[in-house]
A and B are shown apart, each in its own frame.
Chain A
């Protein structure tokens, strides 16, 4: 019973990732694609959590925090590039 629930939630998260991949490919503007990539990262976190429940291990819990941090840094870098055209400025006060 428990395993069936876990596999069902895996299935539904994969379906929502399919929708996000559609937005990633089709999305008319670049910010659409950036938001889709960010949400795919968060869905990946959910998938890793459920897989680690199914495998009955706590070895993947670091990966969850890691993907959260990396998705945040990546999204910040993308949005800064879209807004300013540079990712790392040399001097902000110029």
Chain B
């Protein structure tokens, strides 16, 4: 018997956007409030897991054509690149810097290179979690 999952699929289509918005909020609030790259990455992969639960692996792979193993490499590259960037300015490895920039739409914004390092953590956490879940979830 084929089951009909229309309630689950409709709820998922709405909820996934709320979860992803929450994870982005957690990621960017990490400097001043609880949160950061780790929890944000876990929440984003939670949204993708909810998509996997409501639909199937093939549909999600069509919607998000990402190789999650590449995401791990990209995240590590971000982290190491942020560390090596300090060496260009004659300061020790992993020295961070910040500045206030007047962005056109956002106004006075404080930009910190720790966000780039956190982006690395974010991408690695998504990559590792989704690789583990997809590898275990495969049938053969």
Contact = CB atoms under 8 A, between A and B. Distances in A.
Interface of A: 59, 62-63, 65-66, 69-70, 72-73, 76-77, 80, 83-84, 87-92
CB-based closest 6 A-B pairs: A88-B137, A92-B56, A89-B56, A90-B57, A91-B58, A88-B52
B133 interface: yes
B23 to A, nearest CB: 10
A61 to B, nearest CB: 9
Contacts, number: 53
B46 interface: yes
Interface residues of B, number: 26
B33 A66 contact: no
B35 interface: yes
7 contacts: A59-B33, A62-B33, A63-B34, A66-B43, A72-B50, A84-B3, A88-B133
A73 B137 contact: no
